[in-house]
Structure formats: structure tokens, C-alpha cells
Structure 1
Amino acid sequence: MDFSAVGIIILVLAVFAAGRALFRRGRAPEGPAFRKVPVLNRSETRLHSILARNLEPLFGGGSQLLAQVSLGEFLRSDDRGAFLSINSKRADFVVVDRDFNPVATIEYQGKGHYGWTREAAADARRRDGIKRMALTSAGIPMIEIPADYNERSVLASVRAALPYGPA
């Protein structure tokens, strides 16, 4: 190995070490900047509060409410194409039992859910249909909550969709 090769190796190691130090301090040395945003918007946060307050009477003790969960985290299929069709789709809310088995999903169809064009609405209905089919196949209710909900309508929708009483 000649001196230039050793110099290049030392330079690469120095750049790598400097990059690691910057990452440890929470800054990327270069690339796009990111910022944090809330996981839920205002309407979703209000719905979450209603669901959380009523979780035990609706779903039984030990139930938990998770938000923005990828369907691929709790659904499996031996058909790779089928799995890929749902893997990146999210459920707004997933209710799980004490062992983290999914019990129900809750989809909030907010004001912008169907978009502002006929094409956007058709695409939203298609995506919802894929979710509904996958969840139904797995025996998990998909409870849809419209944009103009209130606590009474949410509770009625959840009760109507559940084929059983609280666990």
C-alpha cells in the first residue's frame, strides 16, 4: 500500500467519525431537513379522546388504543401480492386486547378523506375497499366514523359494528 492509499483510508475514516459525531448530536451532516409534526390532526385527536374514554366499556379491560398503525404490522398473507397491497396502508386507530391482538380498527373519514375531485373520491373508495376486504378476511371489524361525528354517534357506530360484547 502506498502513501496515497493510506491517506485516502485515513480521510475516509475521519469523515466517517465526524459524521457519526454529528448524528450523535442529533444533526445529519447533509441532506434534507426534517421536522416533527403531530401524529393526529385536531379532529383525529378529538376522536381519540372519545375512544380512549370509552375503551374499557366498549372493548373490555386491558384494551389499548393505537394510532396510525400499518396494516402490515397486524395482517399477514401467504400471497405476497396481497400482502404488498396492504402493507403500507394505515389504520387510523387499532384497538388491541391485553395481548396486543387486534380487536377492531377505526377509520376516521375526515372532511378531506374523499378529496375534492371525482377521481380522488374514487381512489379513496378503492383504498378503503382494499382495507375493508383485508380486515374482513382477517375477522377484524373496520368501523368507519364520518367527519361530522359526536360522542353519541361514535359509540353507536362502534357498538353496531361489534359482533360481541366487551371482552
Structure 2
Amino acid sequence: MDVMVWELVGLGLILVAILGLNGKALTRRKGSRPKLVYSRERQAERRDPTIDQLQKVMQASFTKRRIMNGSEYGLFRLVEKELPQINGGYRVFAQTCLGEIIGSKDSEAHACINSKRVDILIIGNTGEPLAAIEYQGSGHYQGNAAVRDAVKKEALRRAGVRYVEIFESYTDETVRQLLRDALRPAPQTAATSPAA
């Protein structure tokens, strides 16, 4: 009896393979007889959205875009040059997405910061984000920029990442001092024991 069951299973698999090779698949709706549907139609229903993305990208043209303006790039270079002097194994990144460096169990809160970026990010030698630097140039506070910055600042504060604002009027030495202050380890508070 077991041999007959396996033979029927084998025949069923062969039938499915033959139908698949002919570009057709067997589907059945509840309460109806089986009907043949072309596999292309079924594939379209299950189509991976990244295939559509690839097709759109292949049909479009793209150009390079600068990720920083001249003033931001000047600040980036200053930070990049100063970090080895602080000697902590730090690395610097430009235009980093907050959703990649901080997280939240609250998906709605995370969605609020997911696509926001910081101008410059400093990470430690373990890859952990330590400080986010925002350059505030002359044209920065337009529209709702102050509110956007407040959202970033609060999310970073809650995640334990320092937020440093650099204004265009700051001297190089002021920027260097702000960097040293931001990368100084936070003071440890002594644990207090409950009163007996």
C-alpha cells in the first residue's frame, strides 16, 4: 500500500512539473472546479517590487549630486583633520541617515526620524555613533528647519548621541573646542544605595 501512495505522489509531481513547463499552473477557488491559469499571470501577482525598481532605474538617467555645499565640506575637512589629534580612533561620515544610527521600539517615532540626516556623524572605534554635527549656515533657518532640527536633536539626545551645532560665524578654534567637548566621556555618576 505504501508503494501505491508514493507512486501517486510521484505522478502528481510529474503532472505539476509538466503543467509548469507548459506555462500553466493549476489553481482552484473554493467551491469551484480547477481551472488553468497561465503562470505569467500568477507571477505578475507575486512580482517582487525590486524588479519594478530595477526596470525603472534602467530606463532613467542619473547624474551625480554633491552631498555637501562648500561651507559644509570645509567643516567636514576641519573635523576630519581634528579627529586624529583627539586620538580616540574616531571616524567621520557625511550626510548620515538617522534611521541607520538610532532605533526605537516605537515604529511611528522611528518613522519620524528615519529619513532625516545629520550633516556630519562621528563614530567611535567600535562603530557606535558618538556625536552628530549640524552646520547652521546663513540660509539654514528657512521654512520648518528649526522644527526639523528639534526633532533630530531630541531623538539623538534620547539615544545618547551628542548633538553639536556649528554656526558659520564660529572660528576654527571654536569648532575644535566643541569637538573636544563633545567627544569627552560623560561623567560617571556614583550609584547611591537606598537608605537602610
- Quick check: TM above 0.5? yes
Are 1:156 and 2:177 an aligned pair?
yes
Distance 2:130 2:85 in 1: 14
What residue number does 2:136 align with? 109
What residue number does 2:62 align with? 34
Equivalent positions of 1:1-167 (< 5 A) are 28=58, 30-31=59-60, 33-58=61-86, 60-115=87-142, 120=143, 123-164=144-185
Deviations 1:2-39 (A, max 9, x none): xxxxxxx9xxxxxxxxxxxxx9xxx93x34x3210222
What percentage of residue pairs aligned between the two structures are identical?
A: 36
Find runs of 4+ consecutive structure 1 residues off by over 6 angstroms: none
Query: Is the contact between residue 131 and residue 182 of structure 2 (CA under 8 Å) also seen in structure 1?
Result: no
For residue 169 of structure 2, give the secondary structure of its aligned residue in structure 1: coil
Instruction: State the number of aligned residues.
Output: 133
RMSD: 2.1
What residue number does 2:6 align with? none
Deviations 1:43-96 (A, max 9, x none): 0111011101111333x3321001100000010100011100000000111101
Question: How far is 1:150 from its partner?
Answer: 2.5
Gap runs ≥5 in structure 2: 1-21, 23-39, 41-53, 187-196
Distance 1:67 1:109 in 2: 15
Distance 1:98 1:66 in 2: 13
Give the TM-score, by structure 2 length. 0.62
Give the TM-score, by structure 1 length. 0.72
Gap runs ≥5 in structure 1: 2-8, 10-22
